[in-house]
Amino acid sequence: METSAPYCPKCGAANPSDAAYCYLCQARFTDGAERDAATAENDTHLQAAFPTVEAAGGAPQTFRIDRPISFYDAAAENVLRSQFLFLILFGLFFILGGTIGAAYNNWQGGVAVAALVYVILASVAWFNGASIVLSLHDARRADPVNDRQLINVVEEMAIAAGLPPPKVFVMETLGMNAFAAGRTPREAVVAVTRGLVNKLDREELQGVVAHELAHIKGRDTLYGICAAVLVGAVAMMSDMFLRGTFFSGHRRNSEDSRGNIAFLLLGVALALLAPLAAKILQMSISRQREYHADAGAAEFTRNPLALAAALDKISTGGTHVPGENRGTQHLFIINPVQSFTGESSALISTHPPTAARIQRLKTMAGTA
Amino acid sequence: MYWIPLVLLGAFLLGFVTSYNRLVSLRNIFNNAWHQIDVQLKRRYDLIPNLVEAVRGYLTHERETLEKVIAARGAAVNATGAAAQAKAENVLTESLKSLFAVVESYPDLKANQNVMELQEELTSTENRISFARQFYNDSVMAYNTAIQSIPANLVASLFNFAPAEYFQADEASRAVPKVDLR
């Protein structure tokens, strides 16, 4: 059932197995060892859902597009996968708390501290709304007269998605990018760059806007906040434990104070590894949400090829935005900070390789 | 062990209530989606007089085309019954199509800021109408799937949740009007 997609040795883009040229960078394929090596190397891009298997050098995998997928199936599958990943992330978090607690002979205390840390960080994140992201990237309210087409496109897609129309913002830059923010559909915003509005035609713009609305409909900002908070909390607890300040008040009585050696060792190991594992999980959730939003865009526009064309244009046309930084990179339709060529590391990328996204969209249209 | 039947009964009731509530909310979504189509059709009726006003001065030799649009709009506004209305809407869409074809052959008119804005509005309105219909059909599908699935089908048959009908474009309007003048 799994077929091996060949990867361009130059840029890492996935290509049809009979292609003579890379469709992305136009490099000519040389058959044989070189291409196989590139394919093997690029297998690390794959199968976002189970990164730990890849990290452990698991069986080579391919993009899962070997069968025609409808956007309904794609959407349902992605939802299941991101919920599963989320469950693992939550589990990891409380196991870390419990183990650290057990090292002090008090695992309930550890879980309680973990829950407390989570609640504090989550409420900080919750009250930092969309306005910060918007001002960070210099986004201004779209002009109802001059940006009429953009506003119309957003309102059309809101109808297709069954959402209240979000507020529309424009970033005055020639780079091509877009993001959505806001925790609920009611307070959602969509921001696009001037370059995107100028260089995409109406249908491509619809595709991009539909992708952003799919993020809003899937509550992806919320997913993002929760995942980021969990990663932050895991890092914080690991730090506290390694510095010996987890239970800072010395209220324990003397027979408890030596702690449990086995759990102490386990705790140290977890505290060292958990932050990395949490980060990898967070990133693979983020990649699942991107695939999910692409499938959602296909559902709303019934035109996956327009989004595929837009992604292609964006990735070759420059994706830079004002105020781009690692804190908000995951919000954009294509990551403005990191480029998705062969060199990008698959495990800690916020987005799947653009070529893989385009390929999936083409599969939904039945033309890949 | 007397509590086991109680727990089972509780679980049953909870499942019953949640699936009933889900059906109600799905039914409201597709009912609302149906009315959203009307909202967009109304938007089109409101735009047409502006469009006609903006091009009237240029199109003195195209009275016939303009009158057709106006007549079709009037017929669509006054149509009663779903079938009659769908038919009138199709006539209106066709007449708009020929109006835009005419506009295309007048370069002054095509470049006119006002006309360009109106064209964008009408393009958008045509899109809104079709996306509203698409969303209606999507919500009908979600609802119909829900009332036919186990266990909600029990609740559905008990409380008369009838399957909803899809919006079907007839053959003539299946060819989407391409009001695409950028």
- Residue A25: inside a domain: no
Q: Which of B33, B117, B134 sits opposite A302 (nearest CB)?
A: B134
- Residue A202: inside a domain: yes
pLDDT for position B108: 80
- Residue A45: inside a domain: no
Tokens in use for B99?
A: 């109006």
Distance in Å from the first CA to the final CA of chain A: 16
Test A155 with B124 for CB contact under 8 angstroms.
yes
Q: Could you give the angle at which helices A220-242 and A107-126 cross, rounded to 10 degrees?
A: 130
Q: Please, are residues A142 and A195 in contact by the beta-carbon 8 Å criterion?
A: no
- Residue A234: inside a domain: yes
pLDDT for position A11: 52
What's the ipTM? Answer: 0.81
What is the C-alpha to C-alpha distance for residues A148 and A198, in angstroms, rounded to an integer? 13
What is the C-alpha to C-alpha distance for residues A360 and A46, in angstroms, rounded to an integer? 13
Residues of B with CB under 8 A from a CB of A: 29, 33, 36, 40, 117, 120-121, 123-124, 127-128, 131-132, 134-135, 138-139, 180, 182
pLDDT for position B164: 86
pLDDT for position A65: 43
Chain B residues in contact with A152 (beta carbon < 8 A): 120-121, 123-124, 127
Distance from CA of A102 to the nearest CA of B (A): 35
- Residue A239: inside a domain: yes
- Residue A91: inside a domain: yes
Test B135 with A162 for CB contact under 8 angstroms.
yes
What is the C-alpha to C-alpha distance for residues A151 and A65, in angstroms, rounded to an integer? 34
- Residue A251: inside a domain: yes
- B121 → chain A, closest CA residue: A152
Q: Please, are residues A285 and A89 in contact by the beta-carbon 8 Å criterion?
A: yes
Q: CB contact, 8 Å: A155 with chain B?
A: yes
Find the domain containing A109 and state its range: 85-351
pLDDT for position A160: 92
Test A160 with B131 for CB contact under 8 angstroms.
yes
As for how many domains chain A has, the answer is 1
Tokens in use for A146?
A: 């001059």
Tokens in use for B70?
A: 């106006």
What is the C-alpha to C-alpha distance for residues A89 and A282, in angstroms, rounded to an integer? 8
Low-confidence ranges of chain B (pLDDT < 50): 171-172, 174-175, 181-182
pTM of full prediction above 0.80: no
3-state secondary structure chain B: CCHHHHHHHHHHHHHHHHHHHHHHHHHHHHHHHHHHHHHHHHHHHHHHHHHHHHHHCCCHHHHHHHHHHHHHHHHHHHCCCHHHHHHHHHHHHHHHHHHHHHHHCCHHHHHCHHHHHHHHHHHHHHHHHHHHHHHHHHHHHHHHHHHHCCCHHHHHHHCCCCCCCCCCCCHHHHCCCCCCCC
- B119 → chain A, closest CA residue: A149
Question: 3-state DSSP call for residue A190?
Answer: strand
What is the C-alpha to C-alpha distance for residues B84 and B92, in angstroms, rounded to an integer? 12
* Cα A54 from chain centroid (whole Å): 18
Test B182 with A162 for CB contact under 8 angstroms.
no
Bridge partners, A14 (sequence order): A7
Question: 3-state DSSP call for residue A338?
Answer: coil
Q: CB contact, 8 Å: A76 with chain B?
A: no
The full set of domain ranges for chain B reads 3-135+149-174
Ordered alpha helix ranges (H), chain A: 33-42, 51-55, 71-103, 107-126, 130-136, 148-161, 194-199, 202-217, 220-242, 261-301, 304-317, 354-365
Complete DSSP assignment for A248-315: -S--S-GGGTT--HHHHHHHHHHHHHHHHHHHHHHHHHHHHHHHHHHHHHHHHHS-HHHHHHHHHHHH
Distance in Å from the first CA to the final CA of chain B: 75
- Residue A27: inside a domain: no
Phi, psi of A28 (to 5 degrees): -80, 140
Test B182 with A201 for CB contact under 8 angstroms.
yes
Catalytic residue positions of A, numbered: 212
Strand pairing of A167-171 and A178-181? Answer: unpaired
B127, B137, B141, B149: best to mutate for the A interface, most A CBs within 10 A = B127
Q: Indicate the helix (H) or strand (E) that contains A192.
A: strand A189-193
**Could you tell me the CATH superfamily of domain B3-135+149-174?**
LemA-like domain (1.20.1440.20)
What is the C-alpha to C-alpha distance for residues B103 and B109, in angstroms, rounded to an integer? 6
pLDDT tens track of chain A, all 368 residues? 333 445 555 555 555 555 555 544 455 555 444 444 444 444 333 333 333 333 333 333 344 444 445 666 666 666 777 778 778 888 888 888 888 888 777 788 888 888 888 887 777 766 666 677 787 888 889 998 889 999 999 999 999 998 999 999 999 988 899 999 887 888 889 999 999 999 999 999 999 999 999 999 888 877 787 788 888 888 888 887 887 766 654 444 444 445 577 778 888 888 888 888 888 888 888 888 888 899 999 999 999 999 999 999 988 877 777 777 777 777 788 888 766 554 455 667 788 888 888 888 888 887 65
